Amino acid sequence: MTRIIFVLGILISFSTFGKLDYNKSMGDFRLDTLKLYDQSRQREIPIAIYKPKANISKKQKVVIFSHGYGQNKGGDYLAYSYLTEFLASKGFFVVSIQHELATDSLLPLTGNPQVVRRPFWERGADNILFVLNELKKTNPDLNYNHITLIGHSNGGDMTALFPQKYPNTIEKIITLDNRRMELPKSKKVKVYSLRSSDQPADEGVLPTEKEIKKFGIKIIKLESTTHNEMDDNANDKQRKEIQNHLLTFLND
């Protein structure tokens, strides 16, 4: 099978399928978008890589971002630029994954979400694992002892599932108003969650006060930010608040 060579910064990776879409350098960060291909699942995985423009003297910590449900329209992995660009400018190596493809089934809107949506979260968790494994091949100098997953809404449900499906793989998760998948309760992964002002989580998704204390989980409610204002729809005040919380969680 023909192998296509594509460039990630100054490193070269090999894949059975890969295409560098574009790259640009802006402000304090650099953006590359490309398509990976998981041969075992016959699945294309578009990603956007945000990294600091300046040379970082120490190993960069890795952040994997998962977008909220976009009804398979595509491009949602680029819809949180105020976060991905900000974190890259602070020295993190950020990868945002496009989880939905135009050929995918739409997310079920009826039935028990914990049952009918579970396969979508499983697929998302598998996407995250594949991307991490590819990164370890192409960017071996990153700090894989400090991997953080961040996800909004449906992407937050994938993020919450990941350490339960693949334990001992990541250090932290940060969910932005995940509402369906129960947050993990374990001392092996640090758990943080920002909650919207308008949409409650399903019963059992959030830990009890006793569990919060036992496992060191941090839950913060944003009093003036709705569920749909956590992507690039956020205003300047909301963006700054979420950015500051995420940076605090990442440096905790």
Residue by residue, pLDDT tens for the chain (252 residues) are 333 333 333 233 333 334 555 555 556 899 999 999 999 999 999 999 999 887 776 789 999 999 999 999 999 999 999 999 999 999 999 999 999 999 999 999 999 999 999 999 999 999 999 999 999 999 999 999 999 999 999 999 999 999 999 999 999 999 999 999 999 999 999 999 999 999 999 999 999 999 999 999 999 999 999 999 999 999 999 999 999 999 999 999
Distance from first CA to last CA of the chain, Å, rounded?
45
d(CA 7, CA 84) in angstroms, rounded, equals 20
Which spans in the chain are helix H? Answer: 81-89, 113-116, 118-138, 154-165, 209-215, 236-251
d(CA 243, CA 251) in angstroms, rounded, equals 12
d(CA 216, CA 189) in angstroms, rounded, equals 10
Whole-prediction pTM: 0.90
Among 54, 127, 124, 36, smallest CA distance to 93 is for 54
Residue 206's domain spans which residues?
Answer: 4-251
Q: How many domains does the chain have?
A: 1
d(CA 126, CA 18) in angstroms, rounded, equals 18
Cα torsion 222, 224, 230, 231 to 10°: value is -150
The CATH number covering residue 220 comes to 3.40.50.1820
